[in-house]
Amino acid sequence: MYKMQDTLCTHCNFCSAKDGPNLCYAARTARFGLEGNFPTKDDKANTKFGKTQSAGEQFHPGTPRYKAFRDIIFMPELLGTDRVAKMAEVGYEPLYTDCKSASTLGGFEVASPLVCAAMGSTPVANDIGPDTSAGCALAGICISIGENIVNMWGYDKPYDEGRPTLVDRIEGFTKNYTGKGGVIIQQNVEDNKVDVWKTIYNDPRFAEAFDKGMIGFEGKGGQGAKPGMGGEVKIPREKAKRIHELYHFPVNPFEVEQELYQRHSVPGTATSESLEEYYTWMCTEFPKAKIWFKTGPYGDLFAQLDVMEKIATKFGLRINCTIDGGEGGTGMSPLGPMNDMGLPMVTCMLAVKKARKMYQNLDFTIAGGMVTGRDLAKSLAMGADGMGIGKGFLIATMAGRHQFAGADSPIEDIRAGGAKGVYNYAIEGITNEAKMLISSIAKYDFNDMKDNAPYEVSGQTIDNIDVVALDKDVAEMFDILYAYDAKIWDKLPEITAEMRKRCEEKAAVTA
């Protein structure tokens, strides 16, 4: 029996190659697609619909450190909902398959509001990078490509034979583009030294892609795993010598001979003024590129968003701001910062909820420990425009590419390999599971999740009746009902009556 895991292991050992019974959600849906959202009887083939008896999980192993989306559940209604109006529209009782996932995010038209969060120059991310990009293109979602790739692996000519370059990873998307989604490229201080963005922008291979609006540039203020720190990897001596002038090396590879050398990229130092100047330069220098912003779980988050709103207003843009909570993953980060630095994702989600009321020209993508369609549905319900996932997409690429058989080389047909795993995970897995939940609360468009007017109930303001909290602190944070409130059944009839009244008024306007 496959565990219905809604989290990923802290350290992924790629058990997808072992065909074992404990596959995580990312690997399971990458392999089985839609069927990965259902229980199975067979450890080898997830095709046993109706031949197993299962129930929802009642226990979480261990004691969760962070409050998270597991503390929020959906609350459906049966009578007098918008399902009646949808039934009149489609001519039958609507199903989850009638729920629309298409949306816009940071200026891109997307098939689903998902972002493959930026993965940069670590070998594990770079080696599968073209497959991941292709899968995102086939799925019609956005992918952000991280930093340091040109200096580590090359722009279009590989420094290491057979290893992908930055162009390979970008073209994985552009050559498989299906009309939706986008590829967004980051640039850090060291990338700026070799003019990565300028090179891409002036590359004739990408002229048509810029004209079609499928490429964006993303400045990076930080990430959840190590806010305030730069990127770290260990590299062999010859590579360390080649990039020694661009990066900081605690041990000089020209003076000391050893197997591997730590390479550190700087964290980037900014003020509100310099951040505004930088983004003004971006918008002026690269007018055909979509402009995005990635930041981490900082205490001065709203000061950063103030700058983004100012830039978006000045240049007439829709800037997507990805906010990565403290649970965010990494290719390589010290354990201390990863465990004990940065605000939790739920706290960042509260910032997004507040920010939606403050800024008119920004979209918000929440990231940090996200895995499932449940996470996507809850992200939208709590106020985000999109959801970012890093490690899950890496695992999905591995699962598809190696077909759980430990193959040493990628499958030649990219649509049947890693890219197919990404497509399955993003669309058949995450998006379909989100549709199941969203349609169950009688909403049939992901964009409708943002339309939540507050309810006044027994002197309490309920900000969102689609969800309830299993944790009292979370209920208070988001102004939602607490499932174990002793007076909940006094409040629910009031909410139901008001909800039906609003549904009737909406139906009358529509008619």
Map 454-492 to HEC letters: CEEECCEEECCCCEEECCHHHHHHHCCEECCCCCHHHHH
CATH class of the region 103-230+269-439:
alpha beta
DSSP-derived 3-state class of residue 410:
coil
Q: How many CB atoms lie within 10 A of CB 324?
A: 31
How far apart are the C-alpha atoms of 1 and 208, rounded to whole Å?
48
Sequence ranges of the domains in the chain: 64-94+452-511, 103-230+269-439, 233-264
Threshold 0.75, pTM exceeds: yes
Buried b (16+ CB within 10 A) or exposed e, 441-479: bbbbbbebbeebeebebeeeebbbbbbbbebeebbebbe
Q: Which two tokens stand for residue 208?
A: 């048509």
Residues 6+ positions from 446 with CB-CB distance below 8 Å? 99, 100, 101, 102, 103, 112, 113, 380, 434, 438
Q: Which pLDDT score is estimated for 408?
A: 44
What does the pLDDT read at residue 1?
37
33: left (phi over 0), alpha (psi -120 to 50) or beta: left
Helix (H, G, I), strand (E, B) or coil at 436: helix
Nearest to 275 by CA among 221, 334, 353: 221
Asked if residues 429 and 34 have their Cβ atoms less than 8 Å apart, the reply is yes
Q: What distance in Å separates the CA atoms of residue 388 and residue 319, rounded to the nearest whole number?
A: 15
CB burial of residue 124 (10 Å; 0-12, 13-18, 19+): middle
* Share of the chain residues as helix, strand and coil, in percent rounded to the nearest 5: 40, 15, 45
Q: What is the pLDDT of residue 510?
A: 67
3-state secondary structure (DSSP) of residue 122: coil
Looking at residue 329, its pLDDT comes to: 72
Would you give per-residue pLDDT tens digits along the chain (511 residues)?
A: 344 456 677 767 666 555 555 678 888 888 878 878 877 645 455 455 555 555 556 556 666 778 889 999 999 988 767 888 888 889 999 999 999 999 999 999 999 999 999 998 888 899 999 999 999 999 999 999 999 999 999 999 999 988 999 999 999 999 999 999 999 999 999 999 999 999 999 999 999 999 999 999 999 888 877 777 877 888 899 999 999 999 999 999 999 999 999 988 888 788 999 999 999 999 999 999 999 999 989 999 999 999 999 999 999 999 999 999 988 776 667 777 777 888 999 999 999 999 999 999 999 999 999 999 999 999 999 999 999 999 999 999 988 876 534 444 433 444 458 899 999 999 999 999 999 999 999 999 999 998 778 888 888 899 998 999 999 999 999 999 999 999 999 998 888 888 888 877 777 776 6
Identify residue 8 by its one-letter amino acid code.
Answer: L
CA distance 264 to 377: 37
